[in-house]
Amino acid sequence: MNKQFIAFALLSFASLAHADEMLFADHPLVGRIWDMHSHSFIDESKLLARTNTANVLLLGEIHDNPLQHELQQKLLKARIESTVHSVSRPALMPALMMEQLDAESQPALDQALAGNDRDKILSSVTRLITFSDWQAYQPFLAIAVDNKLPVIAANVSNQKLQPVIWRGYAAYDAAELKRLAVEQVWNEGRQNYLVTHMGGAHCGKLRDELRAGLTRSQRMRDALMVDSAVLSIDRGVVAIVGSSHARRDIGLPLYFAARAPSARLLSLAFIEVSPGVTDPGKYEADSATGEVPYDVVWFTPRVDRIDPCANLDMEYKPKTADKLNPAK
């Protein structure tokens, strides 16, 4: 039994560490893996074969679900093991792309990763995490440091997106918009879906003007996130992103396909089960254009979280760093 198989087999036990924190752990879909193209379950070995051959692997998460983080880490380690044991030498280690790091921090991140003191490196790069629950993402950076992975700070600060929110795409150079494929990948169905769900993500309290602006910013964010990673595709990219960014119908895959048509992209989302919904096909219905939102979904229990929209009885005014929807 090789090391790669052993590392991946550990995925089966990941749920044990967080069982007491989760809802619906006994749901019949929990732990199962669903291929949205073939409309069938696949086992872990088939999933591993696909994740290890993708040169763009998107691991879409619900940001506050610790079980999903653990599964992502196991898949990242398995991808590294696959590279170490690759028959084609020399094989480059994949780059770790993280939504939890802003692109502006890339110079500081690169400088820290070039150091020699492991603990000092990890401390320095951890301080660059922009999400408030930074402890949840330090293990990803530890894996990167221990295996000398390049790390891509992929997110775009809310401050940088303010012009597109309030002034529209006219705030950007037309040639740059074309290079980023912002309009090329878009259509009416995607627009209607994203506008509708942007309102839902903010508790239905957004003014129409602000909802349109945030929709534009989401598109620009995805385009710029892809721009940060496109030059690393040849070595392989493993992305830790919110599940909405991993969607094939509205997210990063659209821009990767436009910028690098030959990329072997796999979109895998960790999906929290819903009580009473035991047909995996029901989780496919939520699509902007009729195409499947993900290639593969891995079902997990649901976090017992407080409804962020509870007790909101006035027009919602989001803060610049607001992240109400944990999937964003």
Q: E-strand spans in 64-142?
A: 95-102
**pLDDT one-digit tens code per residue, 27-63:** 999 999 999 999 999 999 999 999 999 999 999 999 9
For the chain, what percentages of helix, strand and coil (3-state, to nearest 5) are there?
Answer: 45, 15, 40
Q: In this structure, are strands 95-102 and 265-272 parallel, antiparallel, or unpaired?
A: unpaired
Total Cβ atoms within 10 A of residue 123 = 13
**Chain centroid offset of residue 320 CA:** 20
**Both structure tokens of 68:** 């999903």
Total Cβ atoms within 10 A of residue 141 = 27
pLDDT of 21: 75
Domains and their CATH numbers in the chain: 28-303 (3.40.50.11550)
**pLDDT one-digit tens code per residue, 109-144:** 999 999 999 999 999 999 999 999 999 999 999 999
What are the residues whose beta carbons fall under 8 Å from the beta carbon of 186, sequence distance 6 or more? Answer: 219, 254
Helix, coil or strand: residue 57 = strand
Whole-number Cα distances in Å, 186 to 42, 248, 272, 301 = 31, 12, 28, 33
Helix, coil or strand: residue 56 = strand
**pLDDT one-digit tens code per residue, 186-236:** 999 999 999 999 877 778 788 889 999 999 999 999 999 999 999 999 999
